[in-house]
Amino acid sequence: MEPSNAIGSDRTVVVGNRVELQLLTTLKCNLRCSYCSLGVGEVLGSQRHAAYSAEQLETFVRTHLADKEVYITLYGGEPTLNTKFALDLMERFPGHRFNLQTNGTLLHRVPEKVLRRLSNIMVSVDGGEDVTDGFRGKGVYRKVLENVAAIRPKVFGTLTARVTWWSAETTLADLDSLARIFDYVYFQFAQDAAAYSAESLRRKKLVLAELVDRFFASDALYPIVPIMGIVRNKVLPSRINELSAGLTQCRVSTNLLNVMPDGKIYPCPDMLYVPELQQGDVIANWVKKSPLQPHDAMPCKGCEAYHFCRGNCMKNLHLAYVMNDGKWRSQVTEPTCDLIRFLGEQVDRHDPRRWFAERPLPDRRKIADAEVYEFCEVMP
């Protein structure tokens, strides 16, 4: 067993007062999305059920996280394939908040008891109907929206569309229609070289500029999380320090623990295939500080976007500048950073400080403190 670093005795293991336990309760999935990151290193389907018990998880939480507010994200694979485990956890941890990350196709089967306990449900789509069905299978988009409409009256929390923005075909209208159906839309730039041809970058920038224009022109708050987050970080920079200690806002360097079905803990759910990134084990009951940290080789500190971005995706940066994958750097990390800088420039064109000062108080509260920031990566 590795030396145990109890939080109470070493407060640097998890930074801040909150910690997200992202539980990959099963790596099974009922879809086969063409770009699934769990396909890397044959992770997908390799661990079918959680090998640790809810009791072992409770012991881990009591040993290491006793002085934290713990919230749990049910993740997979597809976590709705294992709702019994979710119910066990909900009963064992009555004070914890729960978030569900799902492909949405089985939401109609999730027991009402589970739905009502969720603070947020993140539903994965890839943009509009054609693009989503192209990646996920024919009919998936409609099925997901049907399910969302069916469960809406049964949920107390928020419903968030999580868009992996891969396709150059994704339009403002696609994202806008999601913003009308869901409480929030979170988009993340796809981590795939094929998503960043010069033409694809050009088209993505057009849509980003339109999205930002619409955000600042809307009477009601336009609930596009990365734009909300960038505005928050520009207007209220101290908030970046509150949830992720001024580091990457997906929390991998500070307060996110991904627990694999076999109990092993990693900082990033996309890098479960890199053994040296293991940072703990629920069954062996140990945890250490996240090994996925900013590194001198990363260019962020000298970047004009650093004040709001804070290292967007540590996986991208780690692969590009620590593991020195030149192809990844030029084909994924640099184009993504280009889009982030562009997004920041578009926000600046609209004088976000003045806009914020003139918004009604409920909107300012949401920009400052929306709970959804804790459930997604905030930056794209």
Asked if residue 81 binds ligand SF4 (CB under 6 A), the reply is no
The rounded distance, in Å, linking the Cα atoms of 250 and 375 is 9
User: Which range binds ligand SF4 by CB under 6 A, 112-120, 160-168, 201-209, 266-274?
Assistant: 266-274
Work out how close the CB of 123 gets to ligand SF4 at its nearest, in angstroms, rounded to a whole number. 17
The rounded distance, in Å, linking the Cα atoms of 352 and 228 is 10
How many of the other CB atoms lie within 10 Å of CB of 46?
A: 16
> Which residues within the stretch 282-301 sit at the binding site for ligand SF4 (CB under 6 A)?
299-300
Residue closer to ligand SF4 (CB basis): 35 or 306: 306
Asked if residue 315 binds ligand SF4 (CB under 6 A), the reply is yes
Residue closer to ligand SF4 (CB basis): 211 or 317: 317
The rounded distance, in Å, linking the Cα atoms of 332 and 350 is 28
- Coil/strand/helix, residue 292: coil
User: Which range binds ligand SF4 by CB under 6 A, 64-72, 204-212, 304-312, 319-327?
Assistant: 304-312
List 51, 245, 303, 322, residue binding ligand SF4 (CB under 6 A): 303
The rounded distance, in Å, linking the Cα atoms of 125 and 147 is 13
Work out how close the CB of 379 gets to ligand SF4 at its nearest, in angstroms, rounded to a whole number. 7
Does residue 343 contact residue 208 with C-beta atoms inside 8 Å? yes
Work out how close the CB of 301 gets to ligand SF4 at its nearest, in angstroms, rounded to a whole number. 8
The rounded distance, in Å, linking the Cα atoms of 171 and 376 is 22
User: Which range binds ligand SF4 by CB under 6 A, 48-56, 155-163, 214-222, 334-342?
Assistant: 334-342
Does residue 189 contact residue 339 with C-beta atoms inside 8 Å? yes
Work out how close the CB of 108 gets to ligand SF4 at its nearest, in angstroms, rounded to a whole number. 28
How many of the other CB atoms lie within 10 Å of CB of 199?
A: 9
- Coil/strand/helix, residue 41: helix
Work out how close the CB of 173 gets to ligand SF4 at its nearest, in angstroms, rounded to a whole number. 27
Residue closer to ligand SF4 (CB basis): 114 or 271: 271
Asked if residue 125 binds ligand SF4 (CB under 6 A), the reply is no
The rounded distance, in Å, linking the Cα atoms of 114 and 87 is 6
How many of the other CB atoms lie within 10 Å of CB of 216?
A: 16
Q: DSSP label at 224? A: B
- For the chain, count helices (H), then strands (E): 15, 10
Asked if residue 45 binds ligand SF4 (CB under 6 A), the reply is no
The rounded distance, in Å, linking the Cα atoms of 253 and 294 is 8
List 154, 234, 341, 350, residue binding ligand SF4 (CB under 6 A): 341
Asked if residue 76 binds ligand SF4 (CB under 6 A), the reply is no
Asked if residue 43 binds ligand SF4 (CB under 6 A), the reply is no
Asked if residue 314 binds ligand SF4 (CB under 6 A), the reply is yes
- Residues contributing to the site for ligand SF4 (CB under 6 A): 250, 252, 268-270, 299-300, 303, 305-306, 309, 311-315, 317, 337, 340-341, 377
